[in-house]
Amino acid sequence: MNKDQVMARLTKVFRDVFDDDSIVLSDNTSAKDIEDWDSLEHINLIAAVEKEFKMRFQMKEVSGMKNVGEMASIVAERAKK
């Protein structure tokens, strides 16, 4: 799975979690760009991404992610294994 495929699936997850079909993700999208993205929704988002991609993030990955691009890179890398 390449990064573009990951981003397409992440967009669907983000739209579902935040109930907003207008969300358009880029590598630089972060919590400050999505109005309802607070700490509680972050937990829901991580859980939804893990479910979508049938994987688990490590705590250091979750705490180190600065934007959607970093999340997509981790998912794409895991998909290669």
- Going by pLDDT thresholds of 50, 70 and 90, the confidence category of residue 81 is low
Q: Which domain holds residue 59?
A: 3-80
Q: Which two tokens stand for residue 59?
A: 């705590």
CATH of the domain at 13: 1.10.1200.10
Question: Quick check: 11 and 71 in contact, CB under 8 A?
Answer: no
* Nearest-angstrom CA–CA distance, 68 and 81: 21
Q: What is the mean pLDDT of residues 21-42?
A: 95
Domain count of the chain? 1
The CA–CA distances, whole Å, from 49 to 37, 44, 57 equal 14, 9, 9
pLDDT score, position 26: 97
Q: What is the CA radius of gyration of the chain?
A: 12
Cite the beta strand spans of 1-78 per DSSP E: none
pTM above 0.95, yes or no: no
